[in-house]
Amino acid sequence: MPVAAPVRSRSHGLPLATFSLSLRDEVRYMRNKFESNRETMSAITTHVLDTSRGKPASGVSIILEIQTAEHGWQELGRGRTDSDGRLRDLLAPDFVLQEGVYRLTFETAGYFATQNISSFYPQVAVVFRVQDAAQHYHVPLLLNPFGYSTYRGS
């Protein structure tokens, strides 16, 4: 039985058109989309949303580290959020995730400075535990000049 599937705009997520797909084609499309994203995403990703503006926070510098017994915190990767507030490639594609304690440090002072906004937290450090290295870990940050929140995303 065909299913109507909306085509969504990349920039706004609004329906552009509707077309008919068989359930099998829809499942194939979603599987290919998932596999494509999985190949380009690192095992740990993040997304920063500026709740004071109601928009993604682009250009936020982020550092990912792992805690080791011998050397304390060891940097694994760094980058900046894209125009959608996402950082998908913190780790190299061939990086093998291991169980342990990780830290994401968000350089929030620089982000707010580019908007001429005074902020209370110059950095936000989120420390979390990877308990199953076979899973993907998505750690979003909801940010405003005087507060933040985080959670385990999907």
pLDDT digits (tens, 9 = 90+) for 6-26: 544 444 454 544 445 555 655
CB 64 within 8 A of CB 100: no
Answer whether residue 34 shows pLDDT above 50.
no
CATH 2.60.40.180 residue spans of the chain = 43-150
The domain made up of 43-150 has a fold known as Immunoglobulin-like (2.60.40)
pTM, to two decimals: 0.74
Alpha-carbon distances, residue 22 vs 2, 18, 36, 51, 121 (angstroms):
4, 13, 21, 39, 50
Please give the pLDDT value at position 144. Answer: 97
